[in-house]
Amino acid sequence: MAKSFHQQAGLDYGETFNPVIKPTTVYTVCSLAVSKGLSIKQLDVNNAFLQGFLTETVCMEQPSRFINSARPNHVCKLHRSFYGLK
């Protein structure tokens, strides 16, 4: 999870939407398919916010549980996005 307490809406990010599918949605789609006699071959949910490349430079502190003891003051430069990053 990214620490976003220094970011400002409109300056550091424009939107905060994360495309997350809820279990209720999966149940609804499956129940509709069963009630209509349709078969489901595959249900693929792609979380783009977990896989996307960053277009700007983003650095963050080392996570508290994974601090490099040889370099405790170094920061991490992110190349790809992850959950909680705005």
pLDDT 10s digit of each residue in the chain, 86 long? Answer: 456 566 676 776 666 666 677 889 889 989 999 999 998 887 666 655 566 788 888 888 888 888 899 999 998 888 887 766 66
Question: Are 59 and 77 a contacting pair, CB within 8 Å?
Answer: yes
Extract the tokens encoding 70: 């040889």
Query: Residue 1: what pLDDT?
Result: 46
Burial class (CB in 10 A: 0-12, 13-18, 19+), 85: buried
What's the structural domain count of the chain? 1
What is the domain extent for residue 85?
A: 1-86
